Amino acid sequence: MNEKQSTAFQVGYRAAQAMEGKRQPGLKNHPFSASLLMTVPKGLLPRLSSLSVKSGQLTDLPAGAPNSPMKEYKVVVLGSGGVGKSALTVQFVTGTFIEKYDPTIEDFYRKEIEVDSSPSVLEILDTAGTEQFASMRDLYIKNGQGFILVYSLVNQQSFQDIRPMRDQIVRVKRFEKVPLILVGNKVDLEAEREVAGADGRHLAQEWGCPFIETSAKSKTMVDELFAEIVRQMNYATLPEKQDQCCTACVVQ
């Protein structure tokens, strides 16, 4: 990070408000723009924004750990309205579950994460699933480096909606092997399931990407999800001669 970033802790506006237990309107500026951020001096907020993932265990980064060069990645969360994109993102960033969320707002969050002993900064764009924002997706996709495609296990239509979104990613990026994870959310509502796990696994195999079933409410596989997208982006930066991640896997 540059000197300015190293002296200030930047978090998404709504993430900061969530930590304070407040509800504020979201931001509607261009994705991954500095105008989407509020800057808070270090020490004024708890270290909710730091997470370490090592050998499958999640721990806070040590408060006195030296500043290491960090990779910065832009992650875009896509999916139909009501599938839990915002709930997953806020659960990951703040450790809290939100029952209700404004479906017409797109928000930006920033969080530090350490995966496999490698620190990174994630800039996460939580997109609206409503049709009125569909025209903005090309811009989001163009700027994004990793993509999380979310459907609801209790909504078959949301599973159908996810395919054209992936097609749009491939079209904009002009590349098939984009860092991407297919996510079936709301596994806590198993009794209401409409989309079989086998369907999700089959689609992930077709796309050659990982597949994860999550629950934002119970935080099931939420941290693992974001750790895995970091791994996917790390693999994408490796020289082609090195082995890449498996073409399709189920993260459990």
* Amino acid 251: pLDDT: 62
**Token reading at 126:** 């939580």
Q: Are 109 and 12 in contact (CB under 8 A)?
A: yes
Q: Which are the contacts of 188, defined by CB distance < 8 A and separation ≥ 6?
A: 215, 217, 218, 220
* Amino acid 110: pLDDT: 95
The answer to whether residue 19 sits within a structural domain is no
Alpha helices for 40-112 (secondary structure H):
85-94
The answer to whether residue 42 sits within a structural domain is no
Closest CA to 146 of 243, 94, 71: 71
Least confident segment among 72-81, 124-133, 148-157, 170-179: 124-133
Query: pLDDT tens, 79-128?
Result: 999 999 999 999 999 999 988 766 656 788 999 999 999 999 999 999 87
Residue 88 CA to residue 98 CA, distance in Å, equals 9
How many domains does the structure of the chain reveal? 1
Query: In terms of pLDDT, which residue wins out, 39 or 170?
Result: 170
The answer to whether residue 14 sits within a structural domain is no
The answer to whether residue 28 sits within a structural domain is no
**Averaged pLDDT of the chain:** 76
Query: In terms of pLDDT, which residue wins out, 250 or 141?
Result: 141
The answer to whether residue 76 sits within a structural domain is yes
How sure is the predictor about 133, in pLDDT bands with cuts at 50, 70 and 90?
A: low
The CATH code of the domain that includes 206 is 3.40.50.300
The answer to whether residue 184 sits within a structural domain is yes
* Amino acid 225: pLDDT: 98
Average pLDDT over residues 139-155: 96
The answer to whether residue 117 sits within a structural domain is yes
Q: Which residue range forms the structural domain that includes residue 175?
A: 71-237
**68 CA to centre of own chain:** 22
Q: Is the pLDDT reported for residue 151 higher than 90?
A: yes
* Amino acid 39: pLDDT: 30
Tell me the CA distances in angstroms from 141 to 192, 199, 209, one per residue in order: 32, 25, 17
Q: Is the pLDDT reported for residue 136 higher than 50?
A: yes
Average pLDDT over residues 196-203: 98
Query: pLDDT tens, 15-65?
Result: 334 433 333 334 333 444 332 333 333 333 333 344 444 434 444 444 444
The answer to whether residue 166 sits within a structural domain is yes
What sign does the CA torsion over 44, 45, 47, 49 have?
negative
* Amino acid 250: pLDDT: 62
Pairing of strands 211-213, 180-185: parallel
Residue 235 CA to residue 245 CA, distance in Å, equals 7
Instruction: With H, G, I as helix, E, B as strand and everything else as coil, classify residue 85.
Output: helix
* Amino acid 47: pLDDT: 34
